[in-house]
Amino acid sequence: MLQRLLAEHQADPAELHHYLGVCRQAHGDLAGAADHYREALRRNPALFESRNNLGVVLGELGRHTDAIDILSGLTQAFPEEPSAWYNLGYEQAQGGDPEAALASFRRAAELDRCTPDPLLQAAEILAALGRHDERVEILQSALERAPHNDVVRVSLARALLDAGHRDQARERLTEVATDGTDARALAAAALDLRRLDATQPALTAARNAVQRAADDEEFRTAVLAFGLVARGANRRDEAYDVLRSGIARLPLDPAIALFLGAMLAEDRRCDEATPLLKRALDAYARRDPPPPQATEAREALASCGLSP
C-alpha cells in the first residue's frame, strides 16, 4: 500500500519513505530500512523519527561510529528529546565509550522522569566500571520511579550484593519472590537467591515464575530455573514435576530435554531418560560448532550404558 501511494504521488513522499523504512526494519531488512530513512531525510531533513531510527539501524548493522554521528547531531538539533539521548548512549556504550554513554543516559533520565530505562542502562555501565555504590544510588532512583518494576528490583538487589550488602540484597530478592509478577525477573531472583543459600525463597520465586510465564520463552526460562533450584535443594520430585510439565508444553526444547534426561539418568531411570537425551543430543550435535551440551548428553547416555 505504501509503495502504491508513493508511485501514485498520493501522500507526502518523505513520510512514505519513513514508514517504508519502519516496515523494512520490522522485517529485519536493516539495509533497506536505512535506505528509506535516508531518502525520507533527503526530502525532509527535519524528520526527527527518521533520523532517530536511522541511528538505531546503523547501530544494529554494527556501524557504531556512523550511528553516533547521526545521533549526536540529533541531540544537538533536538536537545530536549530523551529518546535521542537514550539511543546515543546505547551506541556510545557499544562503541566503547562508557563515560560518554553514562552522560547520555543520565541526560535521557533527566528529560524523561517517568521511565526507569535510562537509569537501568546507566547502572549496567557502572557495573562494568566497578562503580557499585553509584550503581546502587542510580537504581534506587529507578525504584522511586517504578517501585513495582521487578526488573528494577532485581537489578537493585544485584547491585547491593556487588556492593557488599548481602543481607539487603537477600531481603530485596525475597520480596520479589513473594509478590513479583514478571516471570523473567522471578527466574533471575530464584537463581540469585539460590546462590545466597536462601533455598525456600528461591523455590518460591521459581515456582511463581513458572505460573506467571506469559509465553513459551518465559516458560522455558522459568522451568529451567526451577529445575536448578529444586535439584540443588534435593527436591527432586518437585523438579521432575515441573520439568515434565516443561516437556509436555515444549517437547522439542533441547535444554529441558537434556536437564530432565540427565536427572533421570542420575537416578538410573534410563528408559525414560534415553529418548530425552537422544533428542537433546540430536539438536545440539547439529549446531556448528556443537556446544558443550552435546557432550553432556553423550555422557549421560553413556552413564545409562548406551552409545549415542
* Total number of domains in the chain: 2
Task: Calculate the alpha carbon distances from 117 to 75, 81, 105, 121, 207 in Å.
Answer: 18, 15, 9, 6, 27
Q: Is 18 inside a domain boundary?
A: no
Among 245, 263, 280, where does a domain finish? Answer: 245
Residue among 231, 178, 254 at smallest CA distance from 209: 178
* 40-74 tens-digit pLDDT: 999 999 999 999 999 999 999 999 999 999 999 99
CA atoms within 13 A on the CB side of 44: 14
* 88-116 tens-digit pLDDT: 999 999 999 999 999 999 999 999 999 99
CA-to-CA distance for 31 and 24, rounded, in angstroms?
Answer: 8
Q: By percentage, how much of the chain surpasses pLDDT 70? A: 97
Identify whether residues 240 and 276 lie together within a single domain.
Answer: no
The answer to whether 55 and 74 are in contact (CB under 8 A) is yes
Among 192, 218, 245, where does a domain finish? Answer: 245
The region of weakest confidence among 254-258, 264-268, 303-307 is 303-307
The answer to whether 71 and 55 are in contact (CB under 8 A) is yes
Indicate the average pLDDT of the chain. 95
Q: Is 109 inside a domain boundary?
A: no
Among 199, 225, 245, where does a domain finish? Answer: 245
Using DSSP, state whether 181 is helix, strand or coil: coil
Amino acid at 45: P
Identify whether residues 177 and 226 lie together within a single domain.
Answer: yes
Identify whether residues 180 and 201 lie together within a single domain.
Answer: yes
Q: Is 236 inside a domain boundary?
A: yes
C-alpha 93, offset from chain centre: 17
Q: Is 183 inside a domain boundary?
A: yes
Using DSSP, state whether 116 is helix, strand or coil: coil
Identify whether residues 240 and 178 lie together within a single domain.
Answer: yes
Q: Is 174 inside a domain boundary?
A: yes
Q: Is 201 inside a domain boundary?
A: yes
Q: Is 138 inside a domain boundary?
A: no
* 219-246 tens-digit pLDDT: 999 999 999 999 999 999 999 999 999 9
The region of weakest confidence among 15-19, 23-27, 128-132, 162-166 is 15-19
Q: Is 108 inside a domain boundary?
A: no
Query: Residue 295: which domain range?
Result: 251-308
